[in-house]
């Protein structure tokens, strides 16, 4: 049974989510302040966190920052409806996805299941290497020039799609379906924010050229510098 930790000071919401998700086969625990959330999330194994932005003692962004320093546990962030700033900061802080309050529990369940499906180990090739970047599907980890790159589960899935189609344009819709588990919506900036994070973490190619290019109105292209070979499955 997969364990989920809910970090939210709304006790009624926590009770609702605990009952609803338990009926769907999950083991759910809830804590109601940021400091306790960090302690539980970093000392116990959870398959996923549901983390609210507004928390006593330590806000959700600070909680996620502390958790990300030691763990890449998938995290769904709860934000205020219509607050784009919270969503952007949450994604930049390492959240895998976000959901605005108030929400339908069925939508939350769909997001949870989509995240958990994405984070299950791949059973095909063990690794994928393109140029100086290598993905390890078993560990769901990334390396550049032999050095670890800390990526979230969504960033890992986005990078997988880009590397598997290196030298080709990948549409935002394809990236959203494979990395977020939902069709792309023009007002949803999640894909763009995650790609922006990947650009910062990976930097340009060794020759200084741009690694991930935006293709206006379509999607993104992972470029190949002259020394890069075609994608090599491990």
pLDDT of residue 221: 95
Residue 164 CB burial class (10 angstroms; 0-12, 13-18, ≥19): middle
Q: Provide the whole-model pTM.
A: 0.65
Distance CA 97, CA 75 (A): 7
Going by C-alpha positions, the residue among 171, 139, 169, 168 that lies closest to residue 156 is 139
pLDDT of residue 234: 54
Residue 17 CB burial class (10 angstroms; 0-12, 13-18, ≥19): buried
Distance CA 99, CA 86 (A): 11
Element (H, E) at 7: strand 3-7
Distance CA 69, CA 72 (A): 8
Residue spans per domain, the chain = 3-118, 127-233
pLDDT of residue 81: 64
Element (H, E) at 50: strand 48-52
What kind of architecture, by CATH, is found in domain 3-118? 3-Layer(aba) Sandwich (3.40)
What kind of architecture, by CATH, is found in domain 127-233? Orthogonal Bundle (1.10)
pLDDT of residue 227: 52
Question: How far, CA to CA in Å, does 182 sit from each of 105, 107, 152, 168?
Answer: 16, 11, 18, 22
Going by C-alpha positions, the residue among 34, 27, 38 that lies closest to residue 53 is 34
User: pLDDT tens digits, the chain, 234 residues: what are they?
Assistant: 799 999 999 999 999 999 999 999 999 999 999 999 999 999 988 999 999 999 999 999 999 999 988 888 899 999 876 667 777 888 888 888 889 888 999 999 999 998 888 776 544 558 889 999 999 988 888 999 999 999 988 899 999 999 999 989 999 998 988 888 888 888 788 899 999 999 999 999 988 999 999 998 899 999 987 654 445 555
pLDDT of residue 181: 80
Angle of helix 172-179 versus helix 153-164 axis, rounded to 10: 130
pLDDT of residue 48: 94
Q: What is the DSSP letter of 121?
A: P
pLDDT of residue 189: 85
């Amino acid at each position: 049974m997969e364990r989920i930790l809910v970090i939210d000071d709304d006790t009624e919401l926590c009770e609702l989510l605990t009952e609803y998700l338990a009926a769907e086969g999950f083991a759910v625990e809830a804590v109601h302040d940021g400091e306790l959330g960090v302690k539980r999330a970093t000392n116990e194994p959870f398959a996923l966190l549901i983390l609210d932005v507004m928390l006593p003692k330590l806000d959700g962004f600070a909680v996620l920052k502390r958790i990300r320093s030691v763990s890449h546990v998938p995290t769904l962030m709860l934000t205020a409806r219509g607050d784009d700033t919270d969503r952007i900061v949450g994604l930049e802080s390492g959240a895998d996805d976000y959901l605005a309050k108030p929400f339908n529990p069925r939508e939350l369940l769909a997001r949870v299941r989509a995240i958990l499906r994405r984070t299950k180990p791949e059973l095909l090739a063990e690794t994928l290497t393109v140029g100086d970047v290598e993905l390890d599907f078993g560990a769901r980890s990334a390396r550049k020039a032999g050095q670890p790159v800390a990526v979230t589960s969504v960033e890992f899935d986005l990078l997988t799609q880009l590397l598997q189609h290196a030298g080709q344009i990948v549409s935002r819709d394809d990236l959203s379906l494979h990395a977020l588990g939902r069709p792309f919506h023009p007002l949803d900036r999640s894909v763009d924010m995650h790609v922006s994070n990947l650009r910062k973490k990976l930097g340009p190619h060794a020759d200084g050229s741009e690694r991930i290019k935006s293709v206006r109105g379509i999607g993104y292209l992972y470029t190949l510098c002259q020394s890069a070979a075609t994608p090599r499955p491990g």
